[in-house]
């Protein structure tokens, strides 16, 4: 195989590998709008989780207080009965003191329970609103997902086409040429074969020696950029093969 054909196949492989990389990136990357929508949902889920945790904490406190309140009310009954059975002022004073204290404890808990009840009401409403996806939101999300799925399908088809062309080019190049390309690729990927840009390397932009420029233009032997060591070709004479439909 002459150098010119080899360069053409190498440039074709480079082009196909670029296209394959772009297609793969497209498959991995969610469209920006869907991404921002997902982020919004993620943010909402985090908020929802925090509120649900707060609700659970309040309900636990509520249950604890209700238990304490029951105990306190039983104590109050006990002291009320005692109050009706006292026989002297000292006993009465003692029972009244106990009763006052219990009443005070009951009041504290009842106030706290009322505050909790109000907080729970508010939180429940917030949780309810947060967990609901509106009809509009759902339609919007589904439309975006459908568009992305369709685009993905197209890219997957394109990827198959690129891979078929890669195999075809590999066959045309033959085993020796393919091995040579692989070696070149291993050390320079993802860009191993680049066109000259005037008298510069289009990859690293270094200006090339005039004799190297002549060498590249002649396409009689493989010529490499002195600074980045990539394989150079002249795009006036070497054209990567086109992908057929």
Centroid of chain to Cα 221 = 47
Q: How far is the CB of 12 from Zn ion (least distance, A)?
A: 20
Binding segment for Zn ion among 62-70, 73-81, 158-166, 203-211 (CB under 5 A)? 203-211
Bridging pattern class, strands 223-224 and 193-197: unpaired
The DSSP letter of residue 244 is P
Based on CB atoms, which residue is closest to Zn ion, 64 or 190?
Answer: 190
Based on CB atoms, which residue is closest to Zn ion, 15 or 188?
Answer: 188
Q: How far is the CB of 149 from Zn ion (least distance, A)?
A: 41
Q: Which of 204, 208, 178 is nearest to 12 (CA)?
A: 178
Q: How far is the CB of 194 from Zn ion (least distance, A)?
A: 7
- Binding of residue 216 to Zn ion (CB under 5 A): no
Q: How far is the CB of 180 from Zn ion (least distance, A)?
A: 19
- Binding of residue 225 to Zn ion (CB under 5 A): yes
Q: What is the CA radius of gyration of the chain?
A: 39
User: Are 155 and 23 within 8 A, CB to CB?
Assistant: yes
Binding segment for Zn ion among 33-41, 86-94, 148-156, 198-206 (CB under 5 A)? 198-206
Count interface residues toward Zn ion (CB under 5 A). Answer: 5
Figure out which of the listed residues 127, 144, 228, 241 binds Zn ion, where binding follows CB under 5 A.
Answer: 228
Figure out which of the listed residues 11, 23, 192, 201 binds Zn ion, where binding follows CB under 5 A.
Answer: 201
- Binding of residue 204 to Zn ion (CB under 5 A): yes
Q: How far is the CB of 155 from Zn ion (least distance, A)?
A: 31
What is the rounded CA–CA span in Å between residue 229 and residue 70? 85
Query: DSSP strand E in the chain: where?
Result: 193-197, 200-201, 223-224, 231-233
- Binding of residue 202 to Zn ion (CB under 5 A): no
What is the rounded CA–CA span in Å between residue 16 and residue 190? 11
Based on CB atoms, which residue is closest to Zn ion, 184 or 201?
Answer: 201
**Would you tell me how many other CB atoms lie within 10 Å of the CB of residue 43?**
10
Three-class secondary structure of residue 233 per DSSP = strand
- Binding of residue 37 to Zn ion (CB under 5 A): no
Binding segment for Zn ion among 8-16, 104-112, 143-151, 222-230 (CB under 5 A)? 222-230
Q: How far is the CB of 131 from Zn ion (least distance, A)?
A: 57
Residues 6+ apart with CB under 8 A from 188: 228, 229, 230, 231
What is the rounded CA–CA span in Å between residue 194 and residue 160? 24
Point out which residues bind Zn ion (CB under 5 A).
201, 203-204, 225, 228
């Amino acid at each position: 195989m002459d150098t010119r054909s080899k360069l053409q196949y190498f440039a074709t492989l480079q082009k196909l590998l670029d296209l394959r990389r772009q297609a793969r990136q497209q498959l991995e990357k969610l469209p920006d709008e869907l991404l921002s929508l997902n982020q919004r949902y993620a943010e909402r889920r985090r908020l929802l989780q925090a509120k649900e945790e707060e609700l659970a904490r309040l309900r636990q406190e509520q249950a604890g207080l209700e238990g304490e309140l029951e105990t306190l009310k039983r104590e109050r009954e006990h002291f009320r009965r005692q109050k009706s059975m006292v026989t002297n002022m000292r006993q009465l004073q003692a029972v009244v003191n106990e009763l006052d204290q219990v009443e005070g404890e009951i009041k504290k808990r009842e106030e706290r329970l009322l505050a909790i009840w109000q907080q729970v009401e508010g939180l429940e409403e917030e949780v309810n609103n947060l967990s609901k996806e509106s009809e509009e939101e759902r339609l919007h999300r589904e439309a975006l997902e459908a568009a992305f799925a369709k685009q993905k399908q197209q890219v997957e088809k394109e990827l198959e086409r690129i891979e078929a062309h890669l195999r075809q080019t590999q066959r045309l190049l033959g085993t020796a040429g393919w091995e040579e390309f692989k070696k070149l690729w291993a050390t320079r990927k993802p860009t191993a074969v680049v066109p000259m840009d005037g008298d510069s390397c289009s990859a690293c932009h270094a200006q090339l020696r005039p004799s190297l420029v002549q060498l590249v233009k002649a396409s009689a032997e493989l010529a490499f950029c002195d600074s980045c060591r990539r394989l150079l070709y002249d795009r006036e004479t070497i054209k990567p093969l086109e992908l057929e439909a």
